[in-house]
Amino acid sequence: MLYRMQKQTIIMMGIQGSGKGTQVKLLGGHLQRDPDHSVFRFETGSAFRSLAEDISYTGGLVRTSIAEGKLQPLFLTVSLWANSFVKHYNGNQHVLIDGFPRTRAEAEVLHTAFVYYQLLPVTVIDLRVSDAIATERMKARGRADDTEAGIAERVAWYKNSVAPILAWYTDHPEYNVISIDGERAIEPIHEDIVRQLSL
């Protein structure tokens, strides 16, 4: 069976611990079934982790910022995804964005790229979990930066900085925000996302 689809532009948003990375991977696999369009995916965290491994002055600064749990500067974030678009987007791909934007300024710059590449309208998937569930899942990961203080700071930051972006997208006529219950098992969440995207 061929899964022919209309070309999609999708942003996956959700607090750390929401299962966003897992759902992006599953959704990317589903989109890859389409014989007419490949998938262009940009994942902010992966891009910064790669940069942090670079033996350069900037790489060192990024390593320090990651270790301290700091937000990376706007110019650097934009330069990474913009460079990825320039090098890898071929005009006939589904676009799947993970972990970006994280501020209103980033959302506005990303919108200019969507306009330039004629990628509107955009579907924004809001993967929702409670603060308690997100905290519990982050603690279970066992990462070095998943201390109680670090987790609490990330939860507060998401609510104060990222959540308002969803309000901006909700009010924007060229964006469709879909809220997904992220507190269920992995497969039902994926099935719900596919259904709501009519894929």
- Angle, vertex CA 33, rays to CA 30 and CA 39, nearest 5: 75
Q: What is the pLDDT of residues 39-54, one digit of tens each?
A: 999 988 888 888 888 8
Average pLDDT taken over every residue of the chain: 90
Report the distance separating Cα 47 and Cα 172, nearest Å: 28
Asked, for residue 181, whether it belongs to a domain, the answer is: yes
Query: What pLDDT does residue 140 have?
Result: 84
CATH of the domain at 136: 3.40.50.300
The answer to whether position 128 is within a domain reads yes
* Cβ contact 127:25 at 8 Å: no
- 154-171 pLDDT, tens digit each: 888 888 888 889 999 999
138 is a domain residue:
yes
Domain total of the chain: 1
**pLDDT tens profile 10-26:** 999 998 889 998 999 99
Cα separation, 124 vs 102, in Å, equals 13
The answer to whether residue 168 is domain-embedded is: yes
CA distance 149 to 123: 33
- Of residues 138 and 112, more confidence is placed in 112
pLDDT for residue 2 is more than 70: no
| Residue 34 counted as domain residue | yes
3-state DSSP assignment of residue 70: coil
The confidence band for 193, taking pLDDT boundaries of 50, 70 and 90, is very high
Give 9-59 as a DSSP string.
EEEEE--TTSSHHHHHHHHHHHHTT-SS-EEEEEEHHHHHHHHHTSSSHHH
Instruction: Identify whether 2 is part of a domain.
Output: no
Whether 144 shows a pLDDT value over 80: the answer reads no
